[in-house]
Structure 1
Amino acid sequence: MLLTKFTHSCVRLEQAGRVLVLDPGVYSETDVALDGAGAVLITHEHPDHLDTEAVLSALAASGEMAVHAPGRVADALRVAAPGAAARIHDAAPGDTFTAAGFTIRCFGGQHALIHPSIPVVANLGYLVDDAVYHPGDALTVPDGVQVGTLLVPVHAPWSKVAEVVDFVVSVRAPRAFQIHDGLLNETGLGLTESHIARIGARHGTDFRHLAPGEKVEV
């Protein structure tokens, strides 16, 4: 499976001509990421994970592309694109389904707390083909599975480095790459990732930084 990392939390997975895109947000190169996509997975409603205009344009242009998202997100997209409503699907914790030929399992259900005054929204972690795990904006450890490739939200208004490191240690994936890195400058990113890489390695995880547009086989 070929993984392409885009800016912030967007990744594209390709296998045997099939294309799956996760979290094409406003900080990402959505036009490139969504080109030829058979399906899109949205972890939650925040714009850094969902560029609504780009996704609606892709739905209109494709005629076949499907979108899977938490119910509130799916409802809003169906209202905005009634002609594509049949291709916009609700996803919920515990669900298993197929998207663009990939097997998807859903974990979690709730966005991490930012502040008590900020409402908590639905958030899903997606495990793709029992191999690649994208947690969205939560540090939910998927139960009952061995993750091969972990996508790690390295920095967010809702997290601290200790929590991120504990997440990596708990999942114990053989390899990990960063996501949710669009809010850090080069200095901050280097410092944060050095902690994740050093401590993760003690527990069997090879953490590596991917530049925007970089591709890797997983």
Structure 2
Amino acid sequence: MANECSICLSTFKDPVCTPCGHIYCAICLSGHVFSASTRDNTALCPGCRTPFPVVIPELTTLLEHLRRFIIPSVRRVYVDTASYQKLQNRFSAVKRQVHDLKHDLNHAQTTSLAQKRQLEEREYRWTGAYNELVRTCGSKEKQLAQAVDMREEWRRRHNTLLETNVSKEYELKKEARAWQTKYELLKARFEARARAQKALRVRAPRPRAHQ
């Protein structure tokens, strides 16, 4: 990271810069210089191994708060660690937010899959019920069509029978009128014959009684 020391791998604390441009913590670079074997009062950069001059006086001759300035070729630099820390905190917050969003996304996808399966199951059940209803309606429509056809057949038979009955009734009435006419004629003949016989009996003389 740009704001981390490559020696301690932490945020810069009192950063200093070597002549080659690499930045380290002052205490880390001092420890590196003191622990390394130097030749001709020079040390190697921990990053690129570029030599730079150093002066190593006796530490007991210096005050403690001046010991960090024992490397004259190393200059102090300003690194905005506060802004970096804010960015780091923001990055961590964004990273946590991304993690939470991924978790929510996975949960939403899992929930969506479960809801999709439920909807598919409902669709399957509703499709089966719909198909069964269609088959039932088809059967009922067929039965209704058969009933309508039967009704039409009975209506035609009824009309045929009605026409036949009307025709027979007409023939029977006609025959009844003919028989009534014959009956009237016979009745008139019988009445005329009866009157004639009665008239003959009235005209015939009565036999005399013997004295």
Fold conserved between structures, TM > 0.5: no
Instruction: Flag the structure with larger Rg.
Output: 2
TM (norm. structure 2) is 0.21
Q: Which structure shows the bigger proportion of residues in strand conformation?
A: 1
Q: Which structure shows the bigger proportion of residues in helix conformation?
A: 2
